[in-house]
Chain A
Amino acid sequence: MSPTESSITKSTGPAPSTRRRRRIDGGEPLVFLTGMGLAIGLTMITALLALILFKGLEAFWPKRVARIELTPAAAERVGRDVVVAHILGRQEIRGAAHAEGGAGVDEGDPGTELRLQVGNRDLNGMGFMYLPESAIERISHPRGILRLERMEYGPALVEPLELDIAGEPPLSLASEGGIDALERAIRAAAHRRAEIRAIERDQIGGLSRRIESLRMRRRGIEASATPDPAEVASIEARIAELERRYEGLAAESRALRDAQHADTLTYRIDSGREHRIPVGEIVSAERPNALGFFGRLRVFLGNMWSFVVDEPREANTEGGIFPALFGTFVMTLILSVAVTPFGVIAAIYLREYAKDGPTVRAVRIAINNLAGVPSIVFGVFGLGFFVYFVGGSIDTLFFRLSEGPVFGTGGILWASLTLALMTVPVVIVATEEALAAVSRGVREGSLACGASKWQTIQRIVLPAAAPGIITGMILAMARGAGEVAPLMITGVVKLAPTLPLDATFPFLHLDRKFMHLGFHIYDLGFQSPDSEAARPMVFATTLLLIALVVTMNLGAIVIRERLRRKYATGAF
Chain B
Amino acid sequence: MPSRELDRGAVTGAPHAAGTVAVRPDADPAPSSILAERASRFVSADDRSDSVIAAILANRPTATVVHAEVAEDVPHIVKIRGFSLHYGEKQALHDVSLDVPVGKVVALIGPSGCGKSTLIRCVNRLNDLIDSVRTSGVLTIGETSVLGPETDVIGLRKRVGMVFQKSNPFPKSIFENVVYGLRIAGEGRRSVLREVCERSLREAALWDEVKDRLDESALQLSGGQQQRLCIARAVATRPEVLLMDEPCSALDPVATAKVEELIGQLRGVYTVMIVTHNMQQAARVSDYTAFMYLGRLVEYGPTEAIFQNPRCRDTRDYVTGRFG
A-B contact sample (18 more), CB < 8 A, given A448-B160, A572-B223: A441-B164, A442-B168, A444-B162, A445-B164, A445-B233, A446-B170, A447-B126, A447-B129, A449-B181, A450-B181, A451-B180, A451-B184, A452-B154, A452-B184, A463-B172, A567-B171, A567-B219, A570-B218
Give chain B residues whose Cβ lies under 8 Å from the Cβ of A452. 154, 184
Counting CB contacts under 8 A, is B167 at the interface?
yes
Residues of A within 8 A of B (CB): 355, 439, 441-442, 444-452, 455, 459-460, 463-464, 566-572
Q: Are B184 and A450 in contact (CB under 8 A)?
A: yes
A to B contact number (C-beta, < 8 Å): 91
In the complex, what distance in Å separates the CA atom of A451 from the CA atom of B217?
A: 21
Give chain B residues whose Cβ lies under 8 Å from the Cβ of A449. 157-158, 161, 180-181, 184, 233-234, 237
Q: Are B222 and A444 in contact (CB under 8 A)?
A: no
Give chain A residues whose Cβ lies under 8 Å from the Cβ of B222. 571
Please, could you name 19 A-B residue pairs with CB atoms under 8 Å apart, sorted by A?
A441-B164, A442-B170, A444-B126, A444-B164, A445-B170, A446-B180, A449-B180, A449-B184, A450-B157, A451-B180, A452-B184, A455-B184, A459-B183, A567-B171, A569-B219, A570-B219, A571-B219, A571-B221, A571-B222
Give chain A residues whose Cβ lies under 8 Å from the Cβ of B155. 450
Q: Are B129 and A566 in contact (CB under 8 A)?
A: no
User: Across the two chains, which residue of chain A brings its CB closest to B157?
Assistant: A450
Counting CB contacts under 8 A, is B169 at the interface?
yes
Give chain A residues whose Cβ lies under 8 Å from the Cβ of B185. 450
Q: What per-residue 1/0 map shows which CB atoms of B209-250 lie under 8 Å from chain A?
A: 000000001110111001000100110010000000000001
Residues of B within 8 A of A (CB): 124, 126, 129, 131, 154-155, 157-158, 160-162, 164, 166-172, 180-181, 183-185, 217-219, 221-223, 226, 230, 233-234, 237, 250
The residue in B157, B226, B230 that gathers the most chain A C-beta atoms within 10 A of its C-beta is: B157
- How close is A243's CB to chain B, nearest CB, in angstroms? 57
Give chain A residues whose Cβ lies under 8 Å from the Cβ of B154. 450-452
- How close is B251's CB to chain A, nearest CB, in angstroms? 11
User: Across the two chains, which residue of chain B brings its CB closest to A442?
Assistant: B168
Give chain A residues whose Cβ lies under 8 Å from the Cβ of B158. 449-450
User: Across the two chains, which residue of chain A brings its CB closest to B131?
Assistant: A355
Give chain A residues whose Cβ lies under 8 Å from the Cβ of B234. 448-449
Given known A464-B171, A571-B219, A571-B223, contact A444–B157 (CB-CB < 8 A): no
In the complex, what distance in Å separates the CA atom of A441 from the CA atom of B233?
A: 14
Given known A571-B219, A571-B226, A572-B223, contact A445–B184 (CB-CB < 8 A): no
In the complex, what distance in Å separates the CA atom of A441 from the CA atom of B170?
A: 9
In the complex, what distance in Å separates the CA atom of A441 from the CA atom of B126?
A: 11
Partner of A450, one of B226, B237, B250: B237
Q: Are B221 and A572 in contact (CB under 8 A)?
A: no
In the complex, what distance in Å separates the CA atom of A355 from the CA atom of B161?
A: 28
In the complex, what distance in Å separates the CA atom of A464 from the CA atom of B172?
A: 10
